[in-house]
Amino acid sequence: ESERPKDKIKEEKQVDKKLELRNVSNVELYTVENNKYRHITAVDGALDSSLKYFMKVKSENFKDIMLPVTKIESTTKNNKEVYKIVAHAENLIQHENNVISNDYTYY
């Protein structure tokens, strides 16, 4: 029996989607507790490393995006003690100093 054209398996093409962050208007920190997101309004010391943290990135022109946080550390920026929060996503494009990075950093 010969194959009919419609029976042939079509080759799937993988489309690499890129996520570009531009015109960020606000960033919020969340954690997941008991399968629910909880908004973190203030960071006042050591964060619980056993919890998963997410950064909600809001943009004027795009939908809100939740990115998994990979690192939170205390640092100094412009002579002030601040927290550096780093989120990571594959194919994330953040234009900062004309460098494209998979990480998004917020202070």
**Does residue 82 have a pLDDT over 80?**
yes
Strand order in the sheet with 24-33: 36-40, 24-33, 52-59, 65-77, 80-88, 103-106
pLDDT digits over 25-79, tens only?
A: 888 999 888 888 889 887 766 666 656 889 998 888 778 888 888 888 888 989 9
Q: What's the pLDDT at 50?
A: 59
Q: For residue 6, which phi and psi values (nearest 5 degrees)? A: -70, -15
Classify 71 as helix, strand or coil.
Answer: strand
Q: What's the pLDDT at 8?
A: 52
